[in-house]
């Protein structure tokens, strides 16, 4: 037990509600990890993988109906409905506490409650924040150990802070994993998260989306900073100088891949390197130098497994070679793992993510499309030397992007911050397996925050506009799209490491080192300014022209679709509407 009075009182209160057989306080030690791993292996909650080939690695299967975030069961519980806004599900706090309280009542009978203190952000950073998660799942404890700075370090941070009672109160119970009794509720006004009935990552690792984004964005708005669904990376130039970018892409749209990309040969030969600071979340503040500085609040990566190979993302694959938790991938007879797109031949036999025998003739996928690895960030071969810098890293450019088969070009730059906010606010993307529901339909996903904004999204745009006025030297804002398709449905742009070519143009633009064409939608590269050395077999100057083309018809439709989305808002800032009118005018619509 820890000494903190506020923490103890709250834990006792939650224990009276959930009635566990006992409470185990998590300290984050190695011995504790070993003990819990043994226990979970004995109960079948996890399987130990081949310890020679994958030291410290374990395997877990979720329930078949519990494999992704559940946005329709995720609620923002503010006292006023308008404060949750038109894009969030809302429940009143009274109703939510009563409804979930009923479900939590006795939900941990016969189980142990684990009390996990955790810290989001580096231990030495004044901007870090503490949460306590109470859970009845060892799988959650083991994941939180990788994804956050967990245990004593967090409690010490809280006890030394100005207000040792200021922590995010997170309560989680698997209950019976019944989707009918599954709710993920956020109470931003109470610094509280209640999650019940799920055992899947984003629903239950409360430090991640629930705290760092939903509660985080609410705190950020109140306190004048930004909590965003963004990767952070550094590009080191041959002279050793490093420029940083942050990029918001919706779930399963390439953040982890971009964050760890390996520059193409031409650039490596010149001496360019890419360093990873974070792959999913950025907390950003205005620094004393007037620039925007970003910290990755997380401690590990919870990455999409399928498609991760030595070709597409060797750094991610190498990160997962030890001390990693694999969830819902395929299991091989030798106690290692496999997934579609791993770059190795399909195994002759395997056990699929549901636990059934699988062969290459099986009609179903061996790994779930949203199967994941949980791996310590410090193990990443390209982790930045600055990733735990308490002040963060200064951001030169912000990228917005999604999966767009047709409309969005490879890259364009906004005219200024306000236009950039409009570009972010009008992001759209084809849906993926990262959330339950139909895959492949276009939906608006402003700043990749649609499922993660903890308050009224109209106010969120307003906050972005306000921040722009306060940052003396703001990052430049760009839009990218790696996912344009040809008429046969193939990706035109090779993507992955080749995206460096676009990032290079972006950084040059941010420095004012390269010219651009002014178009109706923004500044665009002169086709010859996108380097294609070494790519000539796949990409010609004409391909680049095609990737940069703007089809007026599609844009007219796009704007129509944006307007339908905006029609739901009653707090849409005038500046956003004005930007849309200006765009229409420039397009001659
Ligand atoms: P979350 O963890 O859900 O937030 O996802 P993410 O944004 O980190 O996505 P990730 O990098 O894991 O990529 C998701 C999927 O997109 C994988 O199947 C990748 O192979 C694929 N992908 C990533 N980058 C590219 C790219 O440049 N081009 C193409 N065609 N596919 C890509
Ligand atoms: C996402 O869906 O954006 C993820 C995975 O990064 S989860 O933790 O489930 O949110
Ligand atoms: Mn994500």
Tell me the CATH number at 197: 3.40.449.10
- Answer yes or no: are the C-beta atoms of 583 and 464 closer than 8 Å: no
- Ligand 2 atom with minimal separation from the 448 CA: 3
Last residue in a domain, options 356, 379, 402: 379
- Answer yes or no: are the C-beta atoms of 81 and 91 closer than 8 Å: no
- Answer yes or no: are the C-beta atoms of 462 and 280 closer than 8 Å: no
- Answer yes or no: are the C-beta atoms of 91 and 457 closer than 8 Å: no
**Chain-centre distance for alpha carbon 50:** 29
> Starting at the edge strand that comes first in sequence, how are the strands of the sheet with 58-60 ordered?
47-48, 58-60, 325-327, 372-376, 300-304
**CATH code for position 318:** 2.170.8.10
Residues 260-310 have pLDDT tens digits of 999 999 999 999 999 999 999 999 999 999 999 999 999 999 999 999 999
The answer as to whether 55 is a domain residue is: no
What token pair was written down for 388? 């735990």
Q: Which of the ligands is closest to the CA of residue 401?
A: 1
Residues 21-80 have pLDDT tens digits of 999 999 999 999 999 999 999 999 999 999 999 999 999 999 999 999 999 999 999 999
**Three-point CA angle 415, 417, 419, nearest 5°:** 55
- Answer yes or no: are the C-beta atoms of 68 and 200 closer than 8 Å: yes
Residues 126-176 have pLDDT tens digits of 999 999 999 999 999 999 999 999 999 999 999 999 999 999 999 999 999
Of 57, 253, 380, 382, which is the active-site residue? Answer: 253
Verify that 250 and 153 share a domain, yes or no. Answer: no
Last residue in a domain, options 208, 224, 240: 224
The answer as to whether 260 is a domain residue is: yes
Instruction: Determine the distance separating the centroid of ligand 1 and the alpha carbon of 312, expressed in angstroms.
Output: 10
Verify that 431 and 579 share a domain, yes or no. Answer: yes
Active-site annotation holds for 210: no
Verify that 144 and 107 share a domain, yes or no. Answer: yes
What pLDDT band is residue 440 in, cutting at 50, 70 and 90? confident
What pLDDT band is residue 489 in, cutting at 50, 70 and 90? very high
Instruction: Determine the distance separating the centroid of ligand 1 and the alpha carbon of 431, expressed in angstroms.
Output: 12
Verify that 150 and 278 share a domain, yes or no. Answer: no
Last residue in a domain, options 355, 379, 403: 379
Instruction: Determine the distance separating the centroid of ligand 2 and the alpha carbon of 125, expressed in angstroms.
Output: 25
Which mutation among 71, 146, 147, 202 tests ligand 2's pocket best, with the greatest number of atoms within 8 A of CB? Answer: 202
**CATH code for position 418:** 3.90.228.20
Which mutation among 246, 304, 369, 401 tests ligand 1's pocket best, with the greatest number of atoms within 8 A of CB? Answer: 304
The answer as to whether 203 is a domain residue is: yes
Verify that 122 and 17 share a domain, yes or no. Answer: yes
pLDDT of residue 1: 77
Nearest CA to ligand 2 atom 3: 251
CA distance 164 to 5: 9
pLDDT of residue 518: 98
Q: Which of the ligands is closest to the CA of residue 278?
A: 1
Instruction: Determine the distance separating the centroid of ligand 1 and the alpha carbon of 157, expressed in angstroms.
Output: 35
The answer as to whether 59 is a domain residue is: no
Verify that 520 and 426 share a domain, yes or no. Answer: yes
Q: Helix 30-43 to helix 138-147 angle, to the nearest 10 degrees?
A: 140
The answer as to whether 441 is a domain residue is: yes
Element housing 586 (H / E): helix 574-587
Nearest CA to ligand 1 atom 24: 254
The answer as to whether 573 is a domain residue is: yes
| Domain of 328, in residue numbers | 300-379
Instruction: Determine the distance separating the centroid of ligand 2 and the alpha carbon of 332, expressed in angstroms.
Output: 26
- Ligand 1 atom with minimal separation from the 313 CA: 20
Verify that 393 and 522 share a domain, yes or no. Answer: yes
Verify that 288 and 305 share a domain, yes or no. Answer: no
Verify that 105 and 202 share a domain, yes or no. Answer: yes
The answer as to whether 62 is a domain residue is: no
Verify that 270 and 183 share a domain, yes or no. Answer: no
pLDDT of residue 439: 87
Verify that 244 and 370 share a domain, yes or no. Answer: no
- Indicate the number of domains in the chain: 3
Nearest CA to ligand 2 atom 4: 251
- Answer yes or no: are the C-beta atoms of 358 and 279 closer than 8 Å: no
The answer as to whether 450 is a domain residue is: yes
Decide: 583 in ligand 2 pocket, CB within 6 A.
no
Verify that 369 and 422 share a domain, yes or no. Answer: no
Tokens 């550094």 identify what position?
A: 234
- Answer yes or no: are the C-beta atoms of 212 and 201 closer than 8 Å: no
């Amino acid at each position: 037990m820890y000494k903190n009075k506020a923490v103890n009182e709250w834990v006792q209160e939650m224990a009276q509600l959930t009635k566990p057989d006992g409470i185990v306080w998590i300290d984050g030690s190695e011995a504790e990890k070993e003990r819990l791993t043994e226990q979970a292996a004995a109960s079948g909650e996890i399987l130990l993988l081949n310890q020679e080939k994958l030291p410290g690695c374990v395997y877990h299967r979720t329930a078949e109906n519990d494999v992704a975030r559940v946005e329709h069961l995720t609620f923002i519980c503010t006292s006023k409905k308008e404060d949750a806004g038109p894009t969030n599900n809302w429940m009143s706090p009274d109703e939510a506490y009563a409804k979930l309280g009923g479900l939590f009542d006795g939900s941990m009978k016969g189980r142990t409650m684990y009390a996990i203190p955790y810290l989001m952000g580096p231990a030495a950073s004044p901007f870090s924040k503490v949460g306590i998660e109470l859970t009845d799942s060892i799988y959650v404890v083991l994941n939180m150990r990788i994804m956050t700075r967990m245990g004593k370090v967090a409690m010490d941070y809280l006890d030394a802070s100005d207000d040792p009672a200021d922590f995010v109160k997170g309560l989680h119970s698997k209950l019976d994993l019944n989707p009918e009794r599954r709710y993920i509720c956020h109470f931003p006004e109470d610094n509280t998260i209640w999650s019940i009935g799920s055992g899947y990552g984003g629903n239950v690792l409360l430090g991640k989306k629930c705290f760092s984004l939903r509660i985080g964005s609410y705190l950020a708005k109140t306190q004048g900073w930004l909590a965003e669904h963004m990767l952070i990376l550094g590009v080191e130039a041959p002279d050793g100088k490093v420029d940083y970018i942050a990029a918001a892409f919706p779930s399963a749209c390439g953040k982890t891949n971009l964050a760890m990309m390996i520059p193409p040969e031409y650039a490596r030969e010149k001496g360019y390197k890419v360093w990873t600071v974070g792959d999913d979340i950025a907390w950003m503040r205005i620094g004393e130098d007037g620039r925007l500085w970003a910290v990755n609040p997380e401690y590990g990566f919870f990455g999409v497994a399928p498609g991760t190979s030595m070709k597409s993302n060797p750094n991610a694959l190498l990160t997962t070679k030890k001390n990693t938790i694999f969830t819902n991938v395929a299991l091989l007879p030798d106690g290692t793992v496999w997934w579609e797109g791993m770059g190795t031949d399909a195994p002759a036999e395997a056990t699929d993510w549901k636990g059934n025998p699988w062969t290459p003739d099986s009609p179903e996928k061996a790994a779930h499309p949203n199967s994941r690895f949980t791996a310590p960030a410090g193990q990443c071969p390209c982790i930045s030397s600055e990733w735990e810098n308490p002040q963060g890293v200064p951001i030169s450019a912000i990228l917005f992007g999604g999966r767009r088969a047709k409309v969005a070009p490879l890259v364009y730059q906004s005219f200024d911050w306000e236009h950039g906010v409009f570009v972010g606010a009008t992001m759209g993307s084809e849906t993926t397996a990262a959330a339950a529901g139909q895959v492949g339909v276009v939906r608006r996903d402003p700043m990749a925050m649609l499922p993660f904004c903890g308050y009224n999204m109209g106010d969120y745009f307003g906050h972005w506009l306000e921040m722009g006025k306060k940052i003396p030297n703001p990052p430049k804002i760009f839009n990218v799209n790696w996912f344009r398709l040809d008429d046969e449905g193939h990706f035109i742009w090779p993507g992955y490491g080749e995206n460096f070519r676009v990032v290079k143009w972006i950084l040059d633009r941010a420095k004012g080192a390269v010219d651009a064409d002014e178009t109706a939608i923004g500044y665009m590269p002169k086709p010859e300014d996108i380097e294609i050395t070494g790519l000539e077999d796949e990409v010609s100057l004409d391909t680049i022209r095609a990737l940069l083309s703007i089809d007026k018809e599609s844009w007219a439709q796009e704007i129509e679709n944006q307007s339908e989305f905006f029609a739901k808002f009653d707090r849409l800032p005038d500046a956003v509407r004005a930007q849309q009118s200006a765009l229409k005018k420039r397009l001659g619509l």
